[in-house]
C-alpha cells in the first residue's frame, strides 16, 4: 500500500513513527460527460469571472468568502504560520470504551504501520495495551490542511485509525421519529422476533454490489454491440397501507421457505386435532383419537349384554339406560350376566304364575259346582 501521510503517534512521552495508508477503496463505476451529438468529452476549465480568461493552477489561490460576499485571500504561508501541534503528530488525548463512540461519527478509515525498525517495539506496546484494555484511543491529527478527530483501535495485529466527525458536526434527529401515538402489540413483536430469528445472522463476506455488477454487464454488452434487454420493473411497493401483522406472518413464511426450513423441526405450522371427551369416544390415555372406524367405535353395549331396543324406543329411555350403565359401580356383575339372571328369574316367575292361574281356575270351578247344589235360600244368603 502507498502511504498518504508520514508522522508519529504521541503516546505520552513515547513517540511511535508511523505511516498512514487508506484502509478502504471505492469500487463505484465513474462516468465521463460527453457531447451526445458527436461523443466528444466534456471538460471543465478554470475561467476568471472578471476577465473571462482561462487561468492555470499556478495562478489559482485560496480565499474565504464572508457571509456578505466579501472575499478574504488566504495563502499557504498564512496557514503554515498557524500553531498546529498535530501537523505531523497523532496526539492521543485519552481512552474510552468502544461503545462510547457513536457510529454516526465514523468517517474515513486508515491503517497505521510502524515506520522503521526502531518503531516496531513501541508500536507493538500500544497495540497490546489497546487489546488488553478493551478500549479505543481518541486522538487528534491534521490531514489535508485541517485538524481532525480520530479513533485508534486494533484490527487483527494492526492499529487502525478511523476519522471521526466533531461532535458539533452531528445533527440532532429533530422531528424525524414517528408520532408517539403508535402502539405496538406483543403479538406483532413476537412475529418480528420470529422473522429476525428466521433470517439469522448476516454473512457480510457474501454480500456484494448487485447494481455495480449489472452496470458492468451493461457496459460490456454495449461495447460488444450486443442488444441490451430491459428487465421488467417490479414496481415500487412504497406508500401502500398494509396489515402489519399479515405482512409479518407472510415474511416469516417466505423466510422459512428461502432458508429451507419449511418442513424442518419447528419450521412448519402444527396441526390441531379435536379431542373427544370420554374413553367411549375412542380416545387413548395419551389423548390421541383412535384410528378405528366410527361404526366400530360406537358398537352399542346393549347388544353385547343381550338387550334389544325396538326402533320405536324413545330417545329419553335410551339416554337413561346409557346413564345408568355409565353409573354402574365397579365390582358389580357385568350387564350380560345380570341380563341372563333376569331372564332366568322371569322364566321362573312366568312358570309360577301359570301354575297359580291353573290352581285358581280349579278352585273357581269347584266353588261354582258347589253353588249350583245349594238351595235358593242359601244362594240368596250367599248372594247377600
Query: What are the tens digits of pLDDT across the range 298-337?
Result: 444 444 444 444 444 444 444 444 444 444 444 444 444 4
43 with 34: CB under 8 angstroms? Answer: no
What does the pLDDT read at residue 270?
40
For the segment 18-43, the average pLDDT, to the nearest whole number, is: 93
For the segment 256-273, the average pLDDT, to the nearest whole number, is: 52
**β 158-164/71-74 pair status:** unpaired
Q: Which segment of 48-52, 131-135, 178-182 scores lowest on mean pLDDT?
A: 178-182
For the segment 9-24, the average pLDDT, to the nearest whole number, is: 93
For the segment 138-155, the average pLDDT, to the nearest whole number, is: 92
Going by C-beta distance under 8 Å and a sequence separation of 6 or more, which residues neighbour residue 72?
63, 64, 65, 66
Of residues 333 and 248, more confidently modeled: 248
Classify the phi-psi angles of 11: left when phi > 0, otherwise alpha if psi is within -120 to 50, otherwise beta.
beta
Of residues 180 and 356, more confidently modeled: 180
**β 89-97/3-11 pair status:** parallel
Going by C-beta distance under 8 Å and a sequence separation of 6 or more, which residues neighbour residue 321?
302
C-alpha cell belonging to residue 109: 478509515
Neighbours of 321 (CB within 10 A): 15
What does the pLDDT read at residue 97?
96
Report for 193-197, 252-256, 317-321, 351-355: range of highest mean pLDDT: 193-197
C-alpha cell belonging to residue 69: 460576499
DSSP labels, 112-156: EEE-SGGGHHHHHHHHHHHHHHTEEEEEEEEETTEEEEEEEEEET
288 with 281: CB under 8 angstroms? Answer: no
Amino acid at each position: 500500500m502507498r502511504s498518504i501521510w508520514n508522522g508519529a503517534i504521541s503516546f505520552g512521552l513515547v513517540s511511535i513513527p508511523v505511516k498512514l495508508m487508506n484502509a478502504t477503496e471505492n469500487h463505484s463505476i465513474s462516468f465521463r460527460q460527453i457531447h451526445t451529438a458527436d461523443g466528444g468529452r466534456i471538460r471543465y476549465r478554470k475561467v476568471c469571472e472578471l476577465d473571462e480568461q482561462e487561468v492555470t493552477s499556478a495562478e489559482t489561490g485560496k480565499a474565504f468568502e464572508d457571509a456578505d460576499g466579501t472575499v478574504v485571500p488566504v495563502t499557504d504561508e498564512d496557514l503554515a504560520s498557524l500553531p498546529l501541534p498535530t501537523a505531523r503528530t497523532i496526539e492521543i488525548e485519552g481512552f474510552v470504551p468502544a461503545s462510547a463512540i457513536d457510529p454516526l461519527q465514523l468517517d474515513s478509515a486508515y491503517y497505521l504501520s510502524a515506520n522503521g525498525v526502531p518503531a516496531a517495539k513501541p508500536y507493538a506496546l500500544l497495540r497490546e495495551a489497546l487489546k488488553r484494555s478493551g478500549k479505543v484511543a481518541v486522538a487528534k491529527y491534521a490531514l489535508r490542511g485541517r485538524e481532525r478527530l480520530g479513533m485508534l483501535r486494533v484490527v487483527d495485529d494492526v492499529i487502525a485509525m478511523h476519522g471521526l466527525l466533531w461532535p458539533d458536526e452531528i445533527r440532532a434527529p429533530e422531528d424525524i421519529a414517528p408520532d408517539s401515538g403508535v402502539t405496538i402489540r406483543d403479538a406483532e413483536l413476537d412475529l418480528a422476533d420470529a422473522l429476525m430469528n428466521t433470517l439469522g445472522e448476516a454473512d457480510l463476506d457474501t454480500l456484494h454490489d448487485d447494481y455495480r455488477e449489472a452496470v458492468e454487464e451493461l457496459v460490456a454488452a454495449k461495447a460488444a454491440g450486443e442488444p441490451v434487454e430491459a428487465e421488467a420493473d417490479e414496481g415500487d411497493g412504497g406508500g401502500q397501507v398494509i396489515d402489519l401483522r399479515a405482512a409479518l406472518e407472510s415474511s416469516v413464511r417466505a423466510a422459512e421457505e428461502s432458508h429451507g426450513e419449511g418442513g424442518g423441526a419447528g419450521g412448519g405450522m402444527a396441526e390441531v386435532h379435536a379431542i373427544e371427551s370420554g374413553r367411549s369416544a375412542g380416545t387413548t390415555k395419551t389423548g390421541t383419537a383412535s384410528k378405528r372406524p366410527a361404526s366400530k367405535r360406537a358398537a352399542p353395549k346393549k347388544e353385547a349384554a343381550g338387550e334389544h331396543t325396538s326402533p320405536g324406543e324413545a330417545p329419553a329411555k335410551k339416554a337413561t339406560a346409557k346413564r345408568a350403565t355409565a353409573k354402574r359401580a365397579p365390582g358389580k356383575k357385568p350387564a350380560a350376566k345380570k341380563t341372563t339372571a333376569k331372564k332366568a328369574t322371569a322364566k321362573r316367575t312366568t312358570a309360577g304364575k301359570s301354575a297359580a292361574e291353573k290352581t285358581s281356575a280349579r278352585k273357581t270351578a269347584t266353588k261354582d259346582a258347589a253353588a249350583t247344589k245349594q238351595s235358593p235360600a242359601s244362594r240368596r244368603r250367599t248372594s247377600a
